Amino acid sequence: ATRFALVRVRGEKLRLMLESAPRHDLTVHLVDVSEAALAKASRAVVASDAREVVLHQATYEDGLAALEREAPRAGRRLVLFLGSNIGNFDPPGAEALLVSIRRSLRRGDGLLLGTDLVKPERDLLLAYDDPLGVTAAFNRNLLVR
């Protein structure tokens, strides 16, 4: 049995990963603080042959803890943390997250951690100061919560 825990993965990357995943007994756990991001990612999963999709609207740390409490430990686990999200943490926070992920893994499990090296300044400005104000609205929502 193979089980996947997907942490903060969206759309295209998720779809590509699942296309190459074993098709038997696959359970996908999606973790994100954004309901919209979870909905987008779950649509990509539904298009795959995943047996079960579990959504965790939570921080990465809380989602990982929920996965540990809720998910039976049959089979292997692969934690995916794609993109450059690890760069959103300060060094102690990134280390703490990676330590908690490591604690949740057993022999035979895996972690696929994606990072970005260098982005053009224009791309970074659009990502963090987008013209529609989506990022600003997201950040204000986090502050309110």
Q: What is the DSSP string of 13-65?
A: HHHHHHHTS--TTEEEEEEES-HHHHHHHHHHHHTTT-SEEEEEES-HHHHHH
pLDDT tens digits for range 28-87:
888 888 888 888 888 877 766 666 788 889 988 888 888 778 766 677 888 888 766 777
pLDDT band with cut points at 50, 70 and 90 for residue 92:
very high
State pTM to two decimals.
0.67
Pair type for strands 2-7 and 110-113: unpaired
